[in-house]
Amino acid sequence: MMDDPFGLRSFGPKDLVDRPGVKFRHAAGRLASWVADMDFPVAPAIVERLRDRVAVDLGYPAWDESGRSHLPDLFVERMASRFGWSPAADRVRELSEVLQGVEFAIHHLTDPRDGIVLHTPSYPPFLESIARNGRRLVALPGMPTATGFEWDYDALDAELAKGGARLWVVCHPQNPTGHVFERRELERIAEIALRHNLVVVSDEIHSELVHQPHGHVPFASLSPEVARRTVTVTSSSKAFNLAGLRWGIMHVGVDRLRDELDALPTHYVGTPNLLAVEATDAAWRDGDAWLAAVRDQLDANRHLLGELLTERLPGIRYRMPQATYLAWLDCRDLGFGDDPAATFRERGVDIYSGLRFGDIGAGFVRLNFATSPTVLEATVQAMAGE
């Protein structure tokens, strides 16, 4: 058995019952496997930093006049060291969350009824953002293969030739399928976007949770020309499980968006959360050992999930994700209808319905396996009705 210095394996379902987050409150006594929060204990470096800060000072932070913390500079360093990408520091802006950056791009770079391209199945808030802003979804449906998913870019190219699309939101790595866009595929996306005059919003929030032998290539790193048409949004929140602290970051390669954001009143956008900045600083400076252990556990869990499904629910088609801690499960052969999540909830597992990810999600569910092996085993066992 592997060592467990951070307590990633040493908890069971009963240890999660009194957790206060929405993941467990929503589950209402069921095993919680829906929203993208990990069950693991917070990284010790983050806990220590937050305790120290709370004990000393929660007043106005000593940031620059625009309300910018030091994290944009640290972000530039981390992108260079982790991915070999050197973003321009003067184009980095802080956010309250990644979706705020997506909304900025939609609002400032598109008009009502403009088309926005999206790989489907898609993270539900992307679909909601397009609809609520009165934009038109240009869906790029994913096709399951023996080992993963692929998208028909030739068909999209023909659709875009008709005109009307302005933006392409790329979830990179992809949620919910766990697909990693390798360089060749990214270059195909870039070629289409450049030829059809699209801006690409690249959501790279899962970039530090890519499983070997795959690797993450920042979209904006492809070329200077691509960078000038790319808005990159990301955060420490997925890799270090900090969603509740509300912090994100955006690299604005598009001049028009940069200029329009800079013209807004200083307090219109808001400033970062002090504790989120402290937590991210601790994560990026001192949390990599914890992150490495988490990645090892997630890798073990994605293999364990395959074994458990083969043993207990062989009717589910499972394509092992190349990234993230989310599994997109094809349950169409189980006979549970378009929303198998309803059956699994009746059996005691709160799991994300595939229908939330677009019509293409009928018959699918998204399962979160960022938990202990014990909880994962209990989850699959309950799903099987045992």
What pLDDT does 270 receive?
83
Q: What are the residues facing 349 on neighbouring strands?
A: 31
Fold matches, 13-43+288-383 and 58-285: no
Cα separation of 121 and 123, whole Å?
A: 7
What pLDDT does 164 receive?
85
What pLDDT does 146 receive?
83
Does the 13-43+288-383 domain belong in CATH 3.90.1150.10? yes
Q: Which long-range contacts (CB under 8 A, 24 or more apart) does 259-263 make?
A: 260/108, 261/93, 261/104, 261/108
Q: What is the DSSP letter of 60?
A: -
Query: What are the helix (H) ranges across 233-321?
Result: 237-240, 255-262, 266-269, 274-286, 288-312
What pLDDT does 2 receive?
65
What pLDDT does 27 receive?
83
Residue ranges in the chain modelled with pLDDT below 50: 1
Cα separation of 63 and 51, whole Å?
A: 20
Does the 58-285 domain belong in CATH 3.40.5.90? no
Peptide linkage before 272 cis (omega within 30 of 0): no
The token pair that represents 121 in the structure block: 């199945």
Domain coordinates of the chain in residue numbers? 13-43+288-383, 58-285
What pLDDT does 3 receive?
85
Q: Give the closest residue to 297 by CA, choosing from 316, 325, 272.
A: 325
What pLDDT does 29 receive?
87
Cα separation of 363 and 324, whole Å?
A: 21
Q: What is the pLDDT of residues 189-240, one digit of tens each?
A: 999 999 999 999 999 999 999 999 999 999 999 999 999 999 999 999 999 9
